[in-house]
Structure 1
Amino acid sequence: MMTLEEFKQLIEKQQKCPDSLPKPLQALWFDYKGNWDRAHEIVQNANDLDSAWVHAYLHRKEGDLSNASYWYRRSSKPEFHAGLDQEWEQITSDLLMKVKQLWMPMN
């Protein structure tokens, strides 16, 4: 399993997001890189709970709290009220724990 810190280091070291990452983690990758639009594009049409959770976070970050509330309900996760960085780390950590196999990016 990849840790949160290892994931952050990989994002900082590598320009291209690995295609082998699950879509919600890809969205969090692009958000970390400062590309909110690409992150949103990845999760906006997904129907899984993890993507809905990332979608909620992205709308909260955007400041669209009513839309964020809708996506929190869709994700079955409670609304987050601490800082955005804390929420990104919480979601990322939880999703990394779900990844069964350690994936290694192509160099």
Structure 2
Amino acid sequence: MTFDQFNSSLSQPQPPANLPPVLLALWHDANNNWGAAHDVAQSREGTPDYDRLHAYLHRKEGDTFNAGYWYRRTDTPVFAGSLADEWQTLVRQQLSQMEESR
């Protein structure tokens, strides 16, 4: 799946079938379902990709203290760009991992 295909799927009522969990969470986040996205992040705490998602979600929520905790857990500096840029970065990273695992 390409970034453009993923982005196009955001206008559909349901996410594409067989999305990896972190991409599914980012799909839900883009469709204003923060809770569903957060449930995914919490489902595998301690896993770097999920913890990184967790950091983004709390940054988006405005909880900078909690976001900072999750960024530190992943040894990642707090993202300096916009939330939209961070979302796009995370989606592209996940799509790249999906391609590499094929």
What interval of TM-score do these two structures reach, taking the shorter chain for normalisation?
A: 0.7 to 0.9
| Deviates most, 14-23 or 78-87 | 14-23
Equivalent residues in 2 for 1:2-41, closer than 5 Å: 2-12=1-11, 14-18=12-16, 20-41=18-39
Equivalent residues in 2 for 1:1-107, closer than 5 Å: 2-12=1-11, 14-18=12-16, 20-47=18-45, 48-99=47-98, 100-101=101-102
Question: What TM-score comes out, normalization by structure 2 length?
Answer: 0.88
Stretches of structure 1 lacking an aligned partner (at least 5 in a row): 102-107
- Whichever residue aligns with residue 23 of structure 2, its letter is L
User: When you count helix as a share of all residues, which structure comes out higher?
Assistant: 2
- Whichever residue aligns with residue 15 of structure 1, its letter is P
Does structure 1 retain, via aligned residues, the 8 Å contact 2:9–2:15? no
Instruction: For residue 89 of structure 2, give the secondary structure of its aligned residue in structure 1.
Output: helix
Question: What TM-score comes out, normalization by structure 1 length?
Answer: 0.84
Q: Could you tell me the percent identity over the aligned residues?
A: 41
Runs of 4+ in 1 over 6 A off after TM superposition: none
Structure 1: distance between partners of 2:87 and 2:80: 12
Structure 1: distance between partners of 2:18 and 2:76: 25
Stretches of structure 2 lacking an aligned partner (at least 5 in a row): none
